[in-house]
A and B are shown apart, each in its own frame.
Chain A
């Protein structure tokens, strides 16, 4: 009787084991594929970021800065030049940076999609002032130039910190390159996948 039970068990044991092994292999291959793509993307990313100089971007940032006659009673929102001690047009630039170490790569096996998530850009360094032009007509004395330069720096800093288009623009210029690059790359690596950079 006992040997009969053993025989039945043995009869089911081998097919069950086989199914289990097949499942394990399928799971392993899938996970491995996902891991492989992720690893490949990350290793190529490092290279492309360095080669394309994507970590920092310099933007032209020219502003109009107003110097109050009296800081106690000064409304900077008015647009009449004559209300101010002087008004200057500042030519400057700012540098925005993206920390590519914080990049995330997700592989969606179901949709066959590789998603590369770029972190938000941030303004780095102080604004660089290239030139100053007085808009009131007459040139101001040379002694006022350092103050005007300081005014320009403060104004660029202030305006760029609330500029809602600046940070997305800094990110966008990286997305353009990475999208072009990975759309080509994935075609060769595994054409059944698509790449989204965001």
Chain B
């Protein structure tokens, strides 16, 4: 009789434990679904101190007679933001395992280059030719556009920087999961997949 009671008690506790585990898995799946992964997540702001090189062609027409092609150089500064698009993050829950896909980081928004760096007096130049071929406002604008494009390209191709931005995004998303899970961190595992 005693044996039957003990076996019954053991079975009851085993079933209740299984039920508890199933409940926790359900809670985990439901809570993770509540995570709002939308918009851009900025994780890195790079600062650049750069040099732009600009070829100024000799003009055409009488007023540009004896002008020569010139090379202009200017130093400029700017910042550029990097991060990930949260809507490309994929999260799935299987039992107590959470799978997260982190997209590759990219440049967010436009580079923020300081326009003041492109004033005429900031250009380093070679003053050659009888007719000077002077720097105009157009030249400043073209050099500015070139600098922005170069900075964007440089940041977009900087794999080390992009990997750092992606890693930082992972840390922030991990914190999000810890909060939303509703469970102790020991009770689930996270499997990370990074877009290369």
Min CB–CB distance A77 → chain B (angstroms): 10
B21 within 8 A of A: no
* Residues of chain A in range 142-198 having any CB-CB distance to chain B below 8 Å: 159-160, 163, 165-166, 169-170, 172-173, 176-177, 180-181, 184-185, 187-188
Interface band, chain B: 35 or more
Interface band, chain A: 20 to 34
Q: How far is the CA of A160 from the CA of B77 in the complex (A)?
A: 11
Do A62 and B49 touch (CB < 8 A)? yes
Do B172 and A163 touch (CB < 8 A)? no
Q: How far is the CA of A180 from the CA of B50 in the complex (A)?
A: 29
Do B164 and A53 touch (CB < 8 A)? yes
Q: Which B residues are in CB contact (< 8 Å) with A181?
A: 171-172, 175
Do B127 and A48 touch (CB < 8 A)? no
Q: How far is the CA of A90 from the CA of B154 in the complex (A)?
A: 16
Do A59 and B49 touch (CB < 8 A)? yes
Q: How far is the CA of A149 from the CA of B73 in the complex (A)?
A: 19
* Residues of chain A in range 8-64 having any CB-CB distance to chain B below 8 Å: 48, 51-53, 59-64
* Residues of chain B in range 73-111 having any CB-CB distance to chain A below 8 Å: 73, 75, 77, 79
Do A185 and B175 touch (CB < 8 A)? yes
Q: Which B residues are in CB contact (< 8 Å) with A184?
A: 172, 175-176, 179
Do A165 and B47 touch (CB < 8 A)? yes
Partner of B167 from the list A52, A89, A180 (CB cut-off 8 Å) is: A52
Q: Which residues of B contact A (CB under 8 A)?
A: 41-51, 53, 71, 73, 75, 77, 79, 114, 121-128, 154, 164, 167-168, 171-172, 175-176, 178-180
Q: Which residues of A contact B (CB under 8 A)?
A: 48, 51-53, 59-64, 79-82, 87, 89, 135, 159-160, 163, 165-166, 169-170, 172-173, 176-177, 180-181, 184-185, 187-188
